Amino acid sequence: METPQNFIPLGGSLALQDVVRVARENVPVTLAEAARARIAASRAWVERVVARGEPMTYGINTGFGIFANVPVSAAQARELMRKLIVSHAVGVGEPLPQEVVRAAMLIRANALAQGFSGVRVEIVETLLEMLNRGVHPIIPAKGSVGASGDLAPLSHLALVLATDENDFDGESGEAIFQGERTSGKVAMQRAGIPRLILEAKEGLALNNGTAISTALVALAAHDAQNLIEHSALAVALTLEALRGASHAFDARIHDASRHRGQKEIAARVRELTRGSQLVDKAQRVQDAYSIRCAPQVVGAALDALQYAVARVEEELNAATDNPLIFVEGENGAALSGGNFHGEAVALASALLAIAVAEVGSISERRTFRMLDGKLNDGLPMMLIERGGINSGLMMAQVTAAALVSENKTLAHPDVLDSIPTSANQEDHVPMAANAARHLREIVWNTTHILAIELVTAAQAIDLRLRNQGKGDELLGDGTRRIFRRVRQDVPYLDTDRVLHHDLEKAAQLVRERALSHLGS
């Protein structure tokens, strides 16, 4: 059977961009035929174990966690699965955003489609139907330590998908369907999707994985890539505004460093400022680090991003529950391990959090320099005419400083803070979900920090051009187009006004990637 046109096939190699398209653009998903055979084979093995009552296999005919050695009969399999989901739905806090929920559903379905989880194909198909028809479970953001996977948040997801013989509305969780928040039972009924009674192993396969943490970091990594691109744009505009020294971006310097990211950022700034009549006009021997060393800092962040994305894409296609079922012909084995442990996700989140925080930190320093009349090469203090009666962009830099400071706190590596759980059976946990949530907040903060630099640089350039009685023809080929696009949404500041709206418009330009293609 061919994959329907415009559908993303599940069960093969899921890329970061696929997650973004499903999460944010509602691109539909289908299950690849090859995956169906793998799923069916592992499910058949589980059913044979249930029928025989042996061997003793974790989560199939035993309890969970500290109760791993407590036997459970085949007659109790459904009750065991239902109680697992109900007892583990203990998340707290505000609901995760819809895009994160969609990404998590996709990632969990893809993990099950690898064919190592022992579930029926109906489980995967139901997850995909929920995605394709727009049933979005309400999942509290907090409550996961990242091992054994994201148990609490994924249990809230499973409450909507699964039921029991009583089909009690009060234990069906909550979901959004067509903009309305209802019980999970009602949402599934309105969408025309039957809820399932979980059989042996299936509850554990649904909640024992890293899908929530991975969804958070995957979307954040995609956005971080955009921030790094916009950081190069901001550097170029600031270089123009301060008439900085271009030789710090000379390819020979960066080739000598051997760092790929550094070379890419320096090349991007050279491209953007090509043809500039402002750069080098101050005739300084060298600029401050926040300008001169921008390729080294932002380039290192780019290298960190590429490493993190590689780890995330591995996790997108991983089987992350426990035990895993390995079938060879009529034989097979259930092997208990720890693929649910989110260490790789937590470390990727930590690295990316530090990298993005650094991008924001050096951006704020450039904003500061442009606003200080002693450092900005002859421009007015706070980049405003009639200073004193006007405050100009003074408080915009204060906001940037507040966001940078918050990033420093959020970038503390959560992965270092293990707290044992489950009577010390789970004695080392990675706090992956916390790390990924904090990364997402750092990305949000840094979006606004860069927006503030772009607004500040545009104001400085305007003042520079007005002082010289010239137009934007003095700017480089790329920076001219970026300057003009910023000015479409954020006009020149001739007297004090409410800047909140300007900063939000600039942040939206960054989020929507409205500037990144203009310098090419």
DSSP secondary structure, 300-312, as one string = HHHHHHHHHHHHH
CB 460 within 8 A of CB 468: no
pLDDT band at 64 (very low <50, low <70, confident <90, very high): confident
User: Rounded to whole angstroms, how far apart are CA atoms 342 and 209?
Assistant: 8
**Whether residue 256 is found in the same domain as residue 366:** yes
Q: How many CB atoms lie within 10 A of CB 491?
A: 12
pLDDT in the model for residue 167: 83
Average predicted confidence (pLDDT) for the chain: 95
**Whether residue 58 is found in the same domain as residue 76:** yes
| Alpha-carbon torsion, ordered 327, 118, 112, 347, to 10 deg | -80
Q: Which whole number is the average pLDDT over 93-119?
A: 97
pLDDT per residue as tens digits for the range 142-164: 999 999 899 999 999 999 999 99
**Whether residue 121 is found in the same domain as residue 220:** no
**Whether residue 241 is found in the same domain as residue 349:** yes
End position of a domain, from candidates 209, 235, 253 = 209
Is position 517 within any domain?
no
pLDDT in the model for residue 5: 65
Q: Which range of residues forms the domain containing residue 433?
A: 216-511
Is position 518 within any domain?
no
**Whether residue 184 is found in the same domain as residue 286:** no
pLDDT in the model for residue 469: 86
pLDDT band at 519 (very low <50, low <70, confident <90, very high): low
Give the whole-number percent of the chain exceeding pLDDT 70.
99
**Whether residue 80 is found in the same domain as residue 143:** yes
The CATH number of residue 184's host domain is 1.10.275.10
Q: Which whole number is the average pLDDT over 16-29?
A: 97
Q: Which whole number is the average pLDDT over 361-384?
A: 98
pLDDT in the model for residue 1: 44
Beta strands in 239-356 (DSSP E): 324-328, 331-335
End position of a domain, from candidates 161, 183, 209 = 209
Does residue 376 carry a pLDDT above 60? yes
Pick from 286-295, 323-332, 440-449: least confident: 323-332
Is position 1 within any domain?
no
**Whether residue 240 is found in the same domain as residue 125:** no
**Whether residue 279 is found in the same domain as residue 145:** no
Is position 464 within any domain?
yes
**Whether residue 199 is found in the same domain as residue 230:** no
Is position 2 within any domain?
no
The sheet carrying 135-137 orders its strands as 135-137, 174-177, 180-183
User: Rounded to whole angstroms, how far apart are CA atoms 198 and 98?
Assistant: 25
Does residue 481 carry a pLDDT above 80? yes
Q: How many CB atoms lie within 10 A of CB 269?
A: 29
The CATH number of residue 392's host domain is 1.20.200.10
Q: Which whole number is the average pLDDT over 471-496?
A: 97
Does residue 46 carry a pLDDT above 70? yes
**Whether residue 337 is found in the same domain as residue 297:** yes
Does residue 502 carry a pLDDT above 90? yes
Is position 519 within any domain?
no
**Whether residue 167 is found in the same domain as residue 231:** no
Dihedral-angle region of residue 243 (phi above 0 means left; psi in -120 to 50 means alpha; beta otherwise): left
Number of domains in the chain: 2
Q: Which whole number is the average pLDDT over 110-124?
A: 97
Q: How far is CA 111 from CA 106, 325, 327, 487, in A?
A: 9, 13, 16, 46
Does residue 84 carry a pLDDT above 70? yes
Does residue 4 carry a pLDDT above 80? no
Pick from 67-81, 102-116, 346-360, 385-399: least confident: 67-81
pLDDT per residue as tens digits for the range 293-312: 999 999 999 999 999 999 99
Is position 398 within any domain?
yes
User: Rounded to whole angstroms, how far apart are CA atoms 340 and 433?
Assistant: 12
Q: How far apart are the first and last CA of the chain?
A: 42
- In this prediction the pTM is 0.96
Catalytic residues: 58
pLDDT in the model for residue 258: 96
The H or E element containing residue 29 is strand 29-31
Is position 516 within any domain?
no
User: Rounded to whole angstroms, how far apart are CA atoms 143 and 11?
Assistant: 29
End position of a domain, from candidates 153, 179, 209 = 209
- Determine the Cα angle at 282 with ends 277 and 288, to 5°: 115
**Whether residue 259 is found in the same domain as residue 408:** yes
CB 402 within 8 A of CB 267: no
